[in-house]
Structure 1
Amino acid sequence: MVKLNIAIIGFGRVGGACALALRHADELALAGVVRCPSSPMKLRDPLGGVPVVTHVRDLKRVDMALICVPAGAVLGVARELLQAQIPIVECAVLEGHTLERHYSAIGDAARHHSVPAIVGAGWNPGILPLFEGAFTTLVPDGYTKRTNRPGAGLHHTEAAESIQGVKGALATETRDTQGQLARYVYVELEKSIKGSAGTSLEAVKAALAADPLFVGEQTCVFEVDSIAALEEEERGILLERVGTERTGAHAALLLEGRFDVPTFTARVMVDAAKCIPSLKPGAHRYSLWG
């Protein structure tokens, strides 16, 4: 079976998640990553062997592209790729009339160049509206409530953040198989003084071990590049659809989940890419084609 070669345009959190997802896609292969010239041209393992270029034309063969750049840049990138006869999958997070104009512009370019494109292939827009639509179909007379939830179980800890040289810290608690409480602390060190005396990770571990709050409890301390990025991970959602008296029996539907949005977005984009060969020229909104 000949695999389709996929280029990833942009290598932020979504682009990185797409690269990892493509490693497990039987029908698809990662042709390479396109980054701006100021970005590193070498990826970390396990993607160390993936070609990194500054323009898609520098890759040997590209059958389609996953656009993973900021929303405001998606349309310009999409038009350039479609003009080069490269089918695209995009996931721009836009709303309302702005989103509709965005889809219309991509559709015009895709038809003009006779190339297929899939738009809205992400979590939202993408999968979430499909869930909401299914709930409304099943419970047509009622109301829907959507609640976004923050990262599961992570909270700021003053004990760690008060240590000199710690820029920010998050902690969580869990119990092991024997029921013993264990704490996990994630710290971001000040970059300007990182590595100086008293601000190493080992110094932070020692300070926490001496803190009365942590005495006698198993505590694991990890250094992270960004506490803000960590807080964005493992987001959750609670989606409720409640019927009214007009429906007869009071129907109610509930969807609760916790997940990493970039990972879900990448999986949707990869799923969409598999459908590109069967589509006619023009823009197609993502759906669960199966």
Structure 2
Amino acid sequence: MPKLQVAVVGLGRLGLACAEALLDESELGLAGVVRRPGAPAALPGRLQLYPVATHVRDLEGVRAALVCVPADAVLGVALELLQARIPVVECACFEGKALESHHTALDEAADNHRVAAVVGAGWDPGVLPLLRSAFEMLIPHGHTMFHRHPGLHLHHSAAVAEIHGVKGALAGEYRGDNGESQHYVYVELERGAELAKIQAAIAADPLFAGEVTQVFQVARLSELEGNDGQGVVLDRRGSATHGPHQSLLLEARFDPTAISARVMLDAARKIPALRRGAHRYAIGL
């Protein structure tokens, strides 16, 4: 089956991530890149073999477009593409009435021109709201704590490494919006060591006592060293009046641009099966 040919509109960080990810796709192909007039005509690295144009009409065989321009320009670019009957995927972050207005405008245009559009196909919006909704569906009675810790710097913790069963440890501190200090400790454990016992030992250490401390087990500390990307912690704790107290915890460290590019490609793969109109991104769309 031939690959669905996709154009990338805009070549900032997101556009570059999308274009490079398309090169390794089995179902999608890179039709080319659309850049503003005056931008360099040559593309970097493996992309240099692909065409560059100032308008999508100058690229051949485009069957979908990933809109990777600044948020305030997304609507105008997307409407122009839809008018040319090219399905679009975008990940602009809007909230409330601005989001409703944005979605309505794209839905009307996509329906009028008999093509599909996917709205909010990124990390946030996109995957993060879906994860929060899933946690709240699984634990309907409780409260959710969400923390971002962008650029959290990790350092080796000798105090934690000395705990029996710990092979090595990295620790970092992040001060939340409320001023509260929060510690994040990542441990690589010896074979047979129990995480619960390690967590208890860390909580009892004077270095961490009395402060919010999250402890996470990792397979290899080397995967975290030198990684200062964005981090998030999503913690859902149940408050049921009877039965066990449920809890769900998600901890992640990642490059949000790379994650958004993967989500946009996932949405693009779904384009051929979507009815006309605008669709908010969902896993399994």
**Into which bin does the TM-score normalised by the smaller protein fall?**
0.7 to 0.9
Query: Which residue of structure 2 lines up, in the alignment, with residue 139 of structure 1?
Result: 139
Match of 2:34, as an amino acid?
A: V
1:12 aligns with 2:12: yes
> How many angstroms apart in 2 are the aligned matches of 1:247 and 1:90?
44
Q: How has the CA–CA distance of structure 1 residues 148 and 173 changed in structure 2, closer, same or farther, with 3 Å as cutoff?
A: same
Query: Partners in 1 of 2:96 and 2:228 — Cα distance?
Result: 26
Q: Among 274, 285, 288, which residue is 2:269 paired with?
A: 274
TM-score (norm 1): 0.72
- Alignment partner, residue 61 of structure 2: 61
User: How is 1:218-237 mapped onto 2 (pairs within 5 angstroms)?
Assistant: 234-237=229-232
* Equivalent position of 2:37 in the other structure: 37
> SS of 2:49's equivalent?
coil
Change (3 A) 1:173 1:46: farther
Q: Is the 8 A contact 2:153 2:228 kept in 1?
A: no
Deviation at 1:283, TM superposition (A): 0.6
C-alpha contact 2:117 2:276 (8 A) present in aligned 1: yes
Give the aligned partner of residue 247 of structure 2: 252
Question: What do residues 217-236 of structure 1 show as CA deviations (whole Å, max 9, x unaligned)?
Answer: xxxxxxxxxxxxxxx96101
Counterparts of 1:234 and 1:17, CA distance in 2:
15
The change in CA–CA distance for 1:57 and 1:135 in structure 2 (over 3 A counts) is same
1:258 maps to amino acid: R
Which structure 1 residue ranges, 5 or more long, are not aligned? Answer: 155-171, 180-231
Q: Could you report, residue by residue, the CA deviation over 1:179-206 in whole angstroms, capped at 9, with x for unpaired residues?
A: 9xxxxxxxxxxxxxxxxxxxxxxxxxxx
Equivalent pairs: percent with the same residue? 53
Aligned-residue Cα RMSD (Å) equals 2.3
**1:276 partner SS:** helix
Deviation at 1:246, TM superposition (A): 2.9
- TM-score normalized with structure 2 length: 0.73
CA distance in 1, matches of 2:239, 2:4: 49
| Alpha-carbon shift at residue 38 of structure 1 (Å) | 2.2
- Pairs aligned (count): 220
CA distance in 1, matches of 2:242, 2:263: 34
